[in-house]
Structure 1
C-alpha cells in the first residue's frame, strides 16, 4: 500500500492535461524513473526486513 500510493495519486493527476505535459519532458521522465527505482528499492527492502526468520530443524 505504501509503495503503490504515490502511483495511484499520479494516475489520478494524469487526467489533467497540464500534468501530462510536465511529465512528458525529459526532466519529467527522469523524475518518474527515479521514483520508480526508489519504490522498487523500498519494496525490496520492506520484504527483506519483514521476512520471518527460518527456524533450524532439531530432528532431521
Structure 2
C-alpha cells in the first residue's frame, strides 16, 4: 500500500499517467491510499499543479 499525505495548505491530486489509479482531489490534512495489484513504476502528476510530477515504485 502507498499513502500520499497532503501537508500543504492547498488541495492536490495523484492520478497515474497510465490511468492505473486516480486519487481525485484531496485537501490539506487529508491522505489517499492505493494498494498495488502488480509491480511497476508509475509516473503521476498533480492535475491542479502540473509542475508537480513524480514516479512511484509499486510492489505487491
TM-score bracket relative to the smaller structure:
under 0.3
Identify the structure with the greater strand proportion.
2
- Bigger radius of gyration among the two: 1
What is the TM-score with the length of structure 2 in the denominator?
0.19
What is the TM-score with the length of structure 1 in the denominator?
0.19
Identify the structure with the greater helix proportion.
1
Higher relative CO (Cα under 8 Å, sequence separation at least 6) belongs to 2
